[in-house]
């Protein structure tokens, strides 16, 4: 009897366990359907779960997922905004570069046109220069009473003056030792001076003829050079025997670097002896 009393609760629990389990199953099924169908039931059940274990509730997980998605969306939005700003900046730069390119293209076109114009002008000037050269080569002038080409007139005058300069230089060098001989060099000096005057007069006449050929209205004369004459040897010797200091002073007005003249006491004696040697004074002329 006692044993039956002891096991009575267990027998009652066994008898009612199937009914309880069935009821619990139905209750759980109803709660699941209600949680899925009604937001209020889902919120209450999520609140109960969060109260017991906040980290394992569905709503907490959804909030975390939503927060993560929001952060990713904001990051993507920022990247999109940055990309849009970069694209706008690139578009603006592209527009500026396009304008600059158009300006450079216009400048290049203008420079090319200027280059073509200058090339044409240069070609025209070259042709004109060639024509002028041909005209100048064919031009004739009146030189020394002859109508000859201008180039020939210039060449002839230049050649004649050059020949005289060359001959005069050789004559000057050859006569220098003779001029240095005391007393006997006087006729050589006179002959050399006379020939130099003759050459200078001829050169002036050539220049005058050339000037008349090209500038007949403004041609210059010889300036009286052809009217000059070299004193003969006797006149030159008379000047040396005269007032030598005065003569030397006049030379100092035309030449620089002349030494001071100091005549010795025997100067007149030497002049008298030389006068006896060179009387009469010979007349010397330069050979052509």
pLDDT given for residue 41 in this prediction: 64
Under 8 Å between Cβ of 219 and 211: yes
Whole-angstrom distance, CA of residue 200 vs CA of residue 223: 12
Under 8 Å between Cβ of 149 and 138: yes
Highest-pLDDT range among 120-124, 148-152, 187-191, 258-262 = 120-124
pTM over 0.85: no
What is the average per-residue pLDDT within 249-276? 79
The residue length of the chain stands at 288
pLDDT given for residue 122 in this prediction: 92
Q: Which two tokens stand for residue 105?
A: 């293209």
pLDDT given for residue 125 in this prediction: 92
Whole-angstrom distance, CA of residue 155 vs CA of residue 8: 162
pLDDT given for residue 193 in this prediction: 84
State the helix-helix crossing angle for 233-241 and 244-252, rounded to 10 degrees.
110
Whole-angstrom distance, CA of residue 241 vs CA of residue 267: 10
Whole-angstrom distance, CA of residue 275 vs CA of residue 241: 9
Contacts of 60 (CB under 8 A, 6+ apart): 50, 54
What is the average per-residue pLDDT within 104-115? 90
pLDDT one-digit tens code per residue, 9-44:
656 556 556 666 666 667 666 666 666 666 666 666
């Amino acid at each position: 009897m006692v044993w039956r009393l002891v096991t009575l609760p267990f027998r009652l629990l066994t008898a009612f366990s199937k009914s309880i389990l069935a009821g619990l199953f139905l209750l759980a099924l109803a709660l699941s359907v209600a949680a899925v169908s009604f937001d209020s039931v889902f919120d209450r059940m999520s609140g109960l779960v969060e109260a017991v274990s906040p980290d394992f509730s569905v709503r907490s997980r959804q909030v975390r997922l939503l927060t993560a998605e929001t952060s990713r969306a904001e990051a993507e939005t920022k990247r999109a905004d940055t990309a849009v700003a970069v694209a706008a900046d690139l578009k603006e730069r592209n527009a500026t570069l396009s304008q600059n390119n158009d300006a450079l293209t216009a400048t290049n076109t203008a420079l090319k046109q200027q280059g073509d114009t200058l090339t044409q002008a240069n070609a025209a000037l070259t042709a004109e220069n060639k024509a002028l050269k041909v005209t100048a080569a064919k031009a004739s002038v009146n030189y020394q009473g002859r109508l000859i080409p201008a180039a020939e007139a210039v060449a002839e005058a230049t050649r004649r003056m050059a020949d005289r300069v060359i001959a005069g230089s050789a004559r000057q060098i050859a006569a220098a030792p003779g001029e240095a001989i005391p007393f006997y060099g006087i006729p050589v000096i006179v002959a050399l001076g006379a020939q130099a005057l003759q050459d200078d007069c001829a050169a002036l006449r050539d220049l005058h003829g050339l000037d008349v050929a090209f500038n007949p209205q403004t041609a210059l004369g010889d300036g009286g050079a052809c009217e000059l004459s070299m004193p003969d040897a006797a006149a030159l010797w008379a000047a040396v025997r005269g007032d030598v200091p005065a003569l030397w002073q006049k030379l100092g007005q035309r030449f620089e670097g002349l030494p001071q003249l100091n005549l010795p006491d025997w100067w007149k004696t030497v002049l008298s002896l030389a006068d006896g040697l060179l009387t009469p004074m010979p007349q010397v002329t330069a050979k052509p």
